[in-house]
Amino acid sequence: MKSNVKKVIAAVMALVMMLGLTACSGANYTENNTEFVIGVSGPLTGGAAVYGVAVQNSAQMAVDEINANGGLNGVMFKFIATDDTNDATKVTANYASMLEGGMQVSLGCVTTAPGLEFKQLSVEDNVFFLTPSASGDKIPEFDNGYQMCFADGNQGKVAAEYVNSLGLSEIGIFYKSDDAYSNGIFEQFKENLDPSIATVETVFTGDASDFSSQISTLKNCTFIFMPIYYQPASIFMTQAKGIIADNAVYYGCDGFDGLAGQFEDFSVIPQEISMLSHFDSNATEGMAAEYIAKYTEKFGTDTLNQFGASAYDCVYAIYYAMEEAIAEGEAIDVTISASDLCEILKAQFQGGFSYSGVTGENITWDENGYVAKIAVKYTLKEAN
């Protein structure tokens, strides 16, 4: 009986200790900050790691550049990237640890599924986030959330408008039915597509790597819309050689970006590949080219994609917005709380702040937090 009491006490103590109770709820974590802290949660491991790593690399690169140029009025920036492996249940712990690490502003989540969790957590504490790539339509639902990428629905709509203008009678659609990104684009695309255009639809799920069945379904199409990421796209294109007509067009959205890193030589694919995006990793001029040169030098071409470019822009956009706010007379101290900074940034992003960077010029945000910038149709490769 006595030893049991001891056991109970020991177990409770152990649990309390494991929680590492800081016993200082409601504390202002930022009061000891010596740098401005930006945080992001993204898939740094697992199947989607390439996107998280690209964001981590690029954001760190942007922060390093800003710091090398003297930071914001002499105050440096610090960037934290935490790993959520694209699993929404890991976001809470990441978010808490970043907050405790003094995070004042965030890039949200890299991918949509965890991003849905993040937006709810951040709205409670009023933490501003500008996500580079969580493109779900509901991500900027609350007034503290903004997107640098196009929302999926918007992409689908714009893509449909483009396709409508081509005067085709039949198109093929190939999408990933268990993926929020792919589905989101597909639904809006379908809704806005001219009803007179016939569609041949085919799907894949999971990590499928054999598309022979889908390819044979689409073999008579000369225009195939593929709102999917580049890895399955590259597999599809390789396997479709000789089956889908050589003069066909593969048309994708920003997920196509990264194809350039996959095919050393695009000419192995006979068909035309084009995409609707805000970034082209083949760009040869402008800020995009500069970014590509810098990124490639540091990290190689492996993880070069629009996720990174977008993250790079996010950091700069936040930086410039803070700079502008200071110019307008706002007091931004290094120990400013996340909530105070959020109010200031919201005012900026809603007050006509505009940003020009790698993924577009004169970028502004509407009252919903959706980005307004020009989506460009990039032709990665003409038909042979």
Residues 166-185 that bind another protein (CB under 8 A): 177-180, 182-184
Binds another protein (CB under 8 A): choice among 77, 103, 117, 156: 117
> Cα(330)–Cα(351) distance, rounded to whole angstroms?
14
Interface with another protein in residues 46-105 (CB under 8 A): 46-47, 49-50, 52-53, 56, 60, 80-84, 86-90, 92-97
Q: Which stretch binds another protein (CB under 8 A): 40-48, 68-76, 246-254, 371-379?
A: 40-48
Interface with another protein in residues 246-275 (CB under 8 A): 261-264, 268
Q: Does 32 interact with another protein (rule: CB under 8 A)?
A: no
Binds another protein (CB under 8 A): choice among 31, 70, 206, 384: 206
- Give buried/exposed letters for 363-379 (b at 16+ CB in 10 A, else e): bebeeebbbebebeebe
**368 CB-near residues (< 8 Å, 6+ apart):** 140
Nearer to another protein, 8 or 166 (CB): 8
Q: Which token pair is 31?
A: 């009061």
Nearer to another protein, 97 or 354 (CB): 97
Binding mask 318-357 for another protein (x = CB under 8 A): ----------------------------------------
Contacts of the segment 283-291: beta carbons below 8 A, 24+ positions apart: 287/356, 287/357, 287/358, 288/358, 288/359, 290/358, 291/58, 291/358
**DSSP-derived pairing of the beta strands 371-372 and 360-365:** antiparallel
Rounded least distance, CB 236 to another protein, Å: 9
Nearer to another protein, 213 or 247 (CB): 213
Count of residues engaged in binding another protein, rule: CB under 8 A: 88
Name the nearest CA neighbour of 162 among 94, 73, 251. Answer: 251
Phi, psi of 224 (to 5 degrees): -120, 120
Q: Which token pair is 335?
A: 């120990």
Looking at the chain, list the stretches that DSSP marks H as alpha helix, in order from N- to C-terminal side.
2-18, 49-68, 91-100, 112-125, 152-164, 180-192, 212-217, 230-240, 259-262, 286-299, 306-327, 338-350
Total residue count of the chain as it appears in this document: 384
Nearer to another protein, 136 or 357 (CB): 136
Binds another protein (CB under 8 A): choice among 35, 67, 138, 168: 138
Nearer to another protein, 33 or 122 (CB): 122
Contact (Cβ atoms closer than 8 angstroms) between residue 275 and residue 253: yes
> Cα(363)–Cα(130) distance, rounded to whole angstroms?
13
Q: Which stretch binds another protein (CB under 8 A): 23-31, 190-198, 277-285, 346-354?
A: 23-31
Nearer to another protein, 210 or 361 (CB): 210
Nearer to another protein, 291 or 355 (CB): 291
Nearer to another protein, 117 or 280 (CB): 117
Binds another protein (CB under 8 A): choice among 34, 73, 213, 368: 213
Interface with another protein in residues 274-293 (CB under 8 A): none
**103 CB-near residues (< 8 Å, 6+ apart):** 29, 37, 38, 39, 80, 127, 338
Rounded least distance, CB 269 to another protein, Å: 11
Binds another protein (CB under 8 A): choice among 302, 328, 333, 382: 302
Binding mask 225-244 for another protein (x = CB under 8 A): ------x--xx--xx-xxx-
Interface with another protein in residues 362-381 (CB under 8 A): none
Rounded least distance, CB 16 to another protein, Å: 7
DSSP string, 323-384: HHHHHTT----TT--HHHHHHHHHHHHHTT--EEETTEEEEEE-TTS-EE---EEEEEE---
